[in-house]
Amino acid sequence: MADFGGDLELEDFRGAARAWLEANFPPSLQGKGGASLTETLAEDADLAAWKQRIGQKGWATPTWPAEYGGGGLSAQQARVLQQEMTRAGAFNPLLFGMGVTMIGPTILDYGTEDQKRRHIPPIVRGEVRWCVGYSEPNAGSDLASLQTKAVDAGDHWVISGQKTWTSGAQFSDWCGALVRTDPTAKKHDGISFMLIDMHQPGIETRPIALIAGASPFCETFFTDAVAPKDALLGQLNVGWTVGKRLLQHERASQTGAIGGGRTVPLPEIARRYCEVDADGRLEDQDLRTRLIRHQMDARTHGLTLARVAAEAKEANGATNAASVLKNSATHVAQTRAELMLEIMGAQGLGWQGEAFGREEIEAVRSWLGGKAMSIYGGSLEIQNNIISKRILGLPDNTQSS
């Protein structure tokens, strides 16, 4: 629970937040927020301590209600906290999981009081891991065609089917899944959202290896898995509405530098690897131009993110603008990765070995892993359709004539 009320002056809060971070954030983790949490890092004792401290403080979810373990901070205090975390090179370790970014906010939106009190505190403290069961082998972009079913067995549900690209399923304790509960209804109308315990014999996960070297995705098989009747989130057969809301939270979480910490500016990295003139400028004028263009895009994205966040607060929820930000975030991140490899040259192509530094190895892996950004969370083309129809009001050209 937070120690601060809404009447505390922001500068007093800033001082208190800075002191708390200095006392609790392990220096060994400084600046690591931008990197993906590999299994090696996940086993680090300092990271475990940091997760425990920030979770107990409630500052991993600073604006969530204090009654469920959140920080209970105002939006202004949360911004100050993020500024102080950036200054300290700190990051929010729980923002790499789906509990804080997707499932938790959706439970706060649609959950019963019992569901909130059962599930939100462990998410806030980082004690449980969640995955999301959406895509299926024959239901990707056309998600509403999903066939995983939940059958009413009286005092519980019986779930059978397959999900794919289930991020982190092999490590997860719970799964928030879309399932078909009425096979006779129209495809969007017969879907429900279930909260499913992953620790049971009826669920099997199989990691999918990727070119970047990690395996965050899984195939997930449900064979007569069970869930209690109160596992239903929201109303029966109205899960499509719940599922769309979760996707809004997901896209909102993907639009900013959610890892926190300090990101080294690309021009600074370029000066380490590329020739500079007598004035300290990069000699390659074309590279200078593209670096500036990238910085302008990143700055524009950040300002738009702040504007949309303010608009979403007034609208009491995420808006379709999250689709715009999802695509712009993808463009900014992928462009940075391409420029990073170009700057590093051959040193940016190292996979392992003493000839390459940690930053150089991370660069090529991030470049490869970042290619998926155009697909996950709704493909670039799907987002463009949403922007076209729901924001610009253009006619729907996806219907057959």
The residues assigned a catalytic role are: 250
Q: Partners of 228 in the beta sheet?
A: 156
